[in-house]
C-alpha cells in the first residue's frame, strides 16, 4: 500500500469511524483539547472544522454499536472533557492564588467542572444519535442538538455558558454581529452548522446531494459576514455629553492585595491613581470589583475621608466593594457595587447593588453542606450571599446604568432582564485571580457580546484583566492592557436602537429548533411510531 493510499481521506475517515477503546478515547480527548484553541485569545476557529467533523464521524460510528445512545454519550463526553479542560485550565490558577491550603483541590475541582460541562455535550450526542436521519442533512440535527444543550448548559444548575461555539468569532468583528439578531445560542447553532458541513465530503464521492449542505454552509458564512460588515458600517451614535469617566487600574496581584500590608498598599495605590492630573475634568471614577481588601462602607472611614479630600463637588465614585451586614440569618457577606456621591467632601451612598450570580468555588462553594459534614467546613466559611436580582441604576450626572459584577456579564438572559433598558453597562471584575492566562481574554470577549446583543455600550474595569470602552456593536475603541497601571479618562458611548435580540430574546433560536424537530418527526414518522408501538 502506498503512503498516498494510506493517508487518503476516505481511509482516514473510515478508520476514525471504526475506532474503539483507548484509541478512540485518546482521539476524542485530543480533538476536543485542540478545538478549544478556537476560543480567545487565539480565535483559531478553522480548528473547529476537523474537530466537529471527527466528533460527527465517531458518533456516526456509535450508531452502529449494540448500545448506540450510550456510545454516543461517552463520545460526546470525552470530546467535551478535552475541550473544557484545555479551554478552562486557567481556573487552577485561582486555587493557587487563594493560598496553599486550596491547591490540593485542583485535581478534583477543575476536572470535575470540565466533566460536568462535558456531560452536556454527551447529552447533545445522544440527541443526535437518536434523532438524526441517515442523510447528508443530519448535520442540521447535529448543530441543533449541540445548540440546545449549550442553552441548557447556560441555564441548568445556575448555568455556566463559557466558551460556547459562538465565541470562536472575535466580538466586534463581522461574524459576531449576528448575535444582535439570534443571540449567542443562535450564533452557536449557525457556527456548528457552517463548520461541520465539510465533513460530509471528506473521503466521499462528490455528488450534488453531498455538496448541497456544504454550499448551504458557505452561503450562511457569506451572509453572516456581509450582514456584519453592513452593521459595522452604521453611523456612530456619538458620545454622551457632559460625562467623563476615569477607569482606575492599579495593577495589583492578589498576593500583594491580601498579603501583609496589603490594605495600605491597595488604598494608597488607588487613591494616588484616582488623584492623577485631570481629575477636575472627570465626572465619574470607576474602580474594579473588590478594589480594596476592606469593608469600605462599614470599617474604612479613613479611605472615604481621603477620597472626599480630593473630590470636587458632585463627583461620583462607582466602586466594587465587599460589604457585610447583620441580618436575621446572622452575619452575611456581599460582593457589591457602591455609588458614592461626594458633596462638600462628604460621601453619600446613592446606589448599592449586590451581586446576584455568584462564581462557584470563588464566591460560593458547591456542595458546601457535604463538605461541612465531612469536616471540611474551613473551605466553606467565606461564602457570599446573592443579591435579590438585576437592577438598572440611576446614576447622578450620567444616564441609567446596569451593573454587571464579574461573570454576570456572560449571561445573555441576565443582561436582558434589566428593565428599563439602560443607556450603558458597567462590567467590573477582578481577573487577578487568574493571572496572565487565557481566562481574562475569554472573559472580555464574552462580555463584549452583551453589547452586540443589546446595542448598549459597556465600560469595563477589570483588575489585571482587559479594561476599556466597548461600543454598542462590541468594538473596543479603548483597550487597557491587563498589566497596565494608571488612570484612564474615557468618554461614554451612546447606545443604538434596541436590537432584534433585545426585543425577541431566544425566540428565533427556538423557532429554528422546533421547525427542525418537526421536520425530523415528519420525515421519520414511521420510525418514531415503531418506538412508541403506534400505527404509522
Residues designated catalytic: 289, 355, 406
The answer to whether 501 and 474 are in contact (CB under 8 A) is no
Q: Which three cell numbers stand for residue 472?
A: 454598542
Q: Answer whether 349's CB lies under 8 Å from 338's CB.
A: yes
CA count, 13 A, side-chain hemisphere, 327:
8
Neighbours of 364 (CB within 10 A): 17
Nearest CA to 475 out of 45, 40, 174, 162 is that of 174
Helix (H) or strand (E) holding 244: strand 239-249
C-alpha distances out from residue 398 to 142, 239, 244, 419, 468, Å: 47, 12, 9, 17, 18
Q: How far apart are CA 87 and CA 439, in angstroms?
A: 9
Angle formed at CA 79 by CA 77 and CA 81, multiple of 5 degrees:
65
Are 160 and 154 in contact by the 8 Å Cβ rule? The answer is yes
C-beta of residue 501 within 8 angstroms of C-beta of residue 179: yes
Look-up of cell digits 477543575: 110
Is 218 in contact with 198 (CB distance < 8 Å)?
no
| Residue 355: count of CB within 10 angstroms of its CB | 24
Task: Show the CA angle centred on residue 388, arms to residues 332 and 376, nearest 5°.
Answer: 40
Judge whether 410 and 162 are in contact, CB under 8 Å. yes
State the distance between the two ends of the chain, measured CA to CA, in whole angstroms: 49
Edge-to-edge strand ranges of the sheet holding 478-480 = 401-405, 424-430, 458-463, 467-470, 478-480
Report the distance separating Cα 8 and Cα 10, nearest Å: 6
d(CA 105, CA 102): 6
Helix (H, G, I), strand (E, B) or coil at 277: coil
Neighbours of 114 (CB within 10 A): 22
Which 8-state DSSP code applies to residue 393?
Answer: B
Contact 464, 483 (CB under 8 A): yes
Amino acid at each position: 500500500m502506498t503512503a498516498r493510499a494510506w493517508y487518503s481521506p476516505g481511509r482516514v475517515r473510515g478508520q476514525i469511524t471504526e475506532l474503539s477503546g483507548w484509541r478512540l478515547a485518546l482521539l476524542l480527548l485530543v480533538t476536543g483539547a485542540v478545538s478549544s484553541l478556537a476560543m480567545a485569545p487565539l480565535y483559531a476557529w478553522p480548528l473547529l472544522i476537523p474537530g466537529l467533523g471527527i466528533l460527527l464521524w465517531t458518533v456516526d460510528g456509535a450508531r452502529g454499536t449494540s448500545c448506540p445512545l450510550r456510545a454516543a454519550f461517552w463520545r460526546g463526553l470525552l470530546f467535551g472533557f478535552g475541550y473544557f479542560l484545555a479551554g478552562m485550565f486557567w481556573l487552577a490558577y485561582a486555587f493557587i492564588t487563594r493560598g496553599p491550603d486550596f491547591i490540593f483541590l485542583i485535581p478534583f475541582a477543575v476536572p470535575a467542572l470540565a466533566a460536568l460541562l462535558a456531560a452536556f455535550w454527551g447529552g447533545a450526542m445522544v440527541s443526535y444519535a437518536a434523532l438524526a436521519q441517515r442523510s447528508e442533512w443530519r448535520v442540521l440535527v447535529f448543530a441543533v442538538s449541540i445548540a440546545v444543550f449549550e442553552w441548557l448548559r447556560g441555564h441548568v444548575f445556575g448555568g455556566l455558558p463559557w466558551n460556547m461555539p459562538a465565541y470562536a468569532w472575535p466580538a466586534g468583528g463581522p461574524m459576531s454581529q449576528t448575535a444582535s439578531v439570534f443571540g449567542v445560542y443562535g450564533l452557536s447553532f449557525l457556527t456548528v452548522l457552517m463548520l461541520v458541513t465539510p465533513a460530509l465530503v471528506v473521503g466521499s464521492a462528490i455528488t450534488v446531494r453531498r455538496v448541497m449542505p456544504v454550499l448551504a454552509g458557505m452561503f450562511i458564512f457569506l451572509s453572516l459576514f456581509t450582514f456584519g460588515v453592513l452593521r459595522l458600517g452604521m453611523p456612530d451614535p456619538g458620545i454622551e455629553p457632559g460625562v467623563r469617566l476615569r477607569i482606575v487600574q492599579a495593577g495589583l496581584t492578589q498576593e500583594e492585595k491580601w498579603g501583609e500590608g496589603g490594605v495600605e498598599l491597595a488604598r494608597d495605590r488607588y487613591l494616588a491613581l484616582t488623584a492623577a492630573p485631570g481629575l477636575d475634568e472627570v465626572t465619574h471614577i470607576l474602580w474594579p470589583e473588590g478594589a480594596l481588601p476592606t469593608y469600605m462602607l462599614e470599617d474604612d472611614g479613613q479611605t472615604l475621608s481621603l477620597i472626599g479630600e480630593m473630590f470636587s463637588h458632585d463627583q461620583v465614585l462607582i466602586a466594587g466593594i465587599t460589604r457585610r451586614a447583620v441580618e436575621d440569618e446572622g452575619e452575611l457577606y456581599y460582593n457589591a457595587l457602591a455609588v458614592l456621591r461626594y458633596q462638600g467632601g462628604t460621601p453619600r451612598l446613592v446606589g448599592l447593588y449586590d451581586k446576584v450570580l455568584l462564581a462557584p468555588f470563588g464566591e460560593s462553594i458547591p456542595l458546601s453542606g457535604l463538605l461541612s459534614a465531612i469536616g471540611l467546613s474551613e473551605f466553606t466559611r467565606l461564602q457570599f450571599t446573592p443579591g435579590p436580582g438585576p437592577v438598572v441604576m440611576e446614576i447622578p450626572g450620567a444616564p441609567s446604568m446596569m451593573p454587571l459584577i464579574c461573570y454576570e456579564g456572560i449571561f445573555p438572559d441576565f443582561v436582558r432582564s434589566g428593565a428599563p433598558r439602560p443607556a450603558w453597562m458597567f462590567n467590573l471584575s477582578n481577573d487577578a485571580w487568574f493571572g496572565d492566562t487565557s481566562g481574562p481574554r475569554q472573559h472580555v470577549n464574552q462580555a463584549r457580546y452583551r453589547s452586540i446583543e443589546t446595542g448598549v455600550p459597556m465600560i469595563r474595569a477589570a483588575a489585571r484583566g482587559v479594561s476599556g470602552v466597548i461600543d454598542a456593536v462590541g468594538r473596543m475603541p479603548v483597550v487597557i492592557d491587563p498589566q497596565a497601571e494608571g488612570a484612564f479618562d474615557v468618554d461614554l458611548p451612546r447606545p443604538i436602537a434596541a436590537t432584534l435580540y433585545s426585543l425577541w430574546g431566544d425566540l428565533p433560536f427556538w423557532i429554528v429548533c422546533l421547525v427542525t424537530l418537526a421536520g425530523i418527526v415528519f420525515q421519520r414518522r414511521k420510525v418514531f411510531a415503531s418506538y412508541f408501538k403506534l400505527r404509522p
